[in-house]
Structure 1
């Protein structure tokens, strides 16, 4: 007797990449929607990549793909390998693509995307390019689910330009995988009082709220000289699941090791962040 998969079928909506959204006509969008409707259904918790066509563009071969997210949260995909086969299922070429370029894919949506093979990457021979198939190689690729995080504490009166700068910085950070937590420096500058201020972006890729109590950090200037080092003790600092927050840490002038500072470049090192806990621990103990 076998256990039946009781997961529900996911109804997915189309999600066009923000950078190309304005360049797609209503007719093109409707064509994509019709193509998506013809795809086999996916279930809750599944991530699926389907290929549509391969087309000879002259300089290269263009492949249309659909990335479907059956998870209840946004994702960003990492490197994925695709294989080109002919009618006899012979492999004519393979290539790994960084699908992070496709951007964050919201929960229960489909992201149309295109990948390209160079002509020399496919041994076409006498095969008809219209009869080739492109498959997502699940065996040859390490499938990593990477979480798209968004800011949760940007000031309501922040200017549009500053908001764009923060958002662009966040999107340009290394991928954070599901279950990971990270801190990275956004800016280091001198204060009016002669001290040093460090702006830090903290990301929570964990599925639970994270509390932070201590943050040890050390700052080096462009000449590799240590500027300041210390541990900051935080009260009631919590980051919600799959969110990012901005915090500023400041060293007073008298806490600096050297007043001759070159801040054209800087480096901030975070020792292991101390006393990180999930926000649900207290509630769990009470239950």
Structure 2
């Protein structure tokens, strides 16, 4: 099936998902007034040889598009077709730009959301395949979500949308609690952010606990500072956390359960540092070797 076979006279433009272009490409040179709307012009990929009848279909759809604000990038949903052979979803949409200069993008993760913003599918696409998008234009495209990238049982009803995954775009970040921001100098905050950036990449649903500083106090209490790493695209809330600290020799030097009040929230795709204090009665640090140590959640 060719790409033109997906677009039909019966298609209609659905929901539009627009973002500020700086979310993807940084600052813009767009000189247009921030209040003036931009009507995007239909643009075809330079390699396409579009039949006359198909041009009519594309123009009809493009005429249904709402104007954009300046400096926006948008995905306008059209329709979804399921491939019976392998269960893939072919998602028809316009990629639009209201920038006053051409734009070419690289790898971007897209998500499908139903009318209630529940995620239906997610997949990374190479936008270089779309070619250079001219200024203030709309380019029709088919984004194919393989079956293993789809989380829903069936194609959604009206009101669904295709969108840029902004959480994925911004990369993994340091989620510093306000108490830490007040106590730590700016230089140390920047150092923590660099350490977090250099940590191994997390899986999309992974939550990981990585120790980065441990101190045995004179009163024999143990202060363990830990990175709580959240690879999910939703925040996690911690109310109770049973932890143990294991030294370089595999010895358990501390074990305790911490009630977190207020609840400790770790934002999506973020790492939050936190210090847990084990009182002396929960610590057995005799001959402990902290040259290497591990923080583990007790199951």
Classify the TM-score, shorter chain: 0.3 to 0.5
**Higher relative strand content:** 1
Q: Greater Rg, structure 1 or structure 2?
A: 2
Query: How does the TM-score come out when normalised to structure 2?
Result: 0.46
